[in-house]
Amino acid sequence: MTNNMFFIANWKMFGDIKSVNSIKKVINFSKNKKYKKAQIIYCPPYTLISKLLRLVKNSKIKIGAQNCHYSQTPGPFTGSINTDLIKSCGAKYVIIGHSENRALGDTNNIINLKIKSALKKKLKVIFCIGETLKEKRKKKTNLILSSQIKYGLKNIKKNNNIIFAYEPVWSIGTGIIPKINNLEKQVSDIKKMINKVWKLKKPRIIYGGSVNSNNITELKKISSIKGFLVGGASQNSKNFIDIIKKTIN
Catalytic pick from 98, 100, 131, 135?
A: 98
The pLDDT of residue 2 is 59
Would the pLDDT of 1 be above 80?
A: no
Q: At the fourth CATH level, which superfamily is domain 5-248? A: Aldolase class I (3.20.20.70)
| Mean pLDDT calculated for residue range 203-220 | 96
Residue 140 vs residues 22, 88, 132, 136, 137: alpha-carbon distances, Å: 41, 40, 9, 6, 8
Catalytic pick from 100, 131, 135, 167?
A: 167
Domains of the chain by residue range:
5-248
Who's near 193: CB < 8 A, 6+ residues apart?
A: 142, 145, 146, 149, 150
| Mean pLDDT calculated for residue range 196-207 | 92
Q: Is 98 a catalytic residue?
A: yes
Burial class (CB in 10 A: 0-12, 13-18, 19+), 137: exposed
- Phi-psi sector, 74: left (phi>0), alpha (psi -120 to 50), beta: beta
Instruction: State the pLDDT confidence band at 188, using cuts at 50, 70 and 90.
Output: very high
Instruction: State the pLDDT confidence band at 209, using cuts at 50, 70 and 90.
Output: very high
Q: Tell me the C-alpha distance between 55 and 57, whole Å.
A: 6
The pLDDT of residue 43 is 98
> pLDDT above 90 covers what percent of the chain?
95
User: What pLDDT, in 10s, does the model give residues 35-94?
Assistant: 999 999 999 999 999 999 999 999 999 999 999 999 999 999 999 999 999 999 999 999
CA-based torsion, 190, 240, 35, 67: positive or negative:
positive
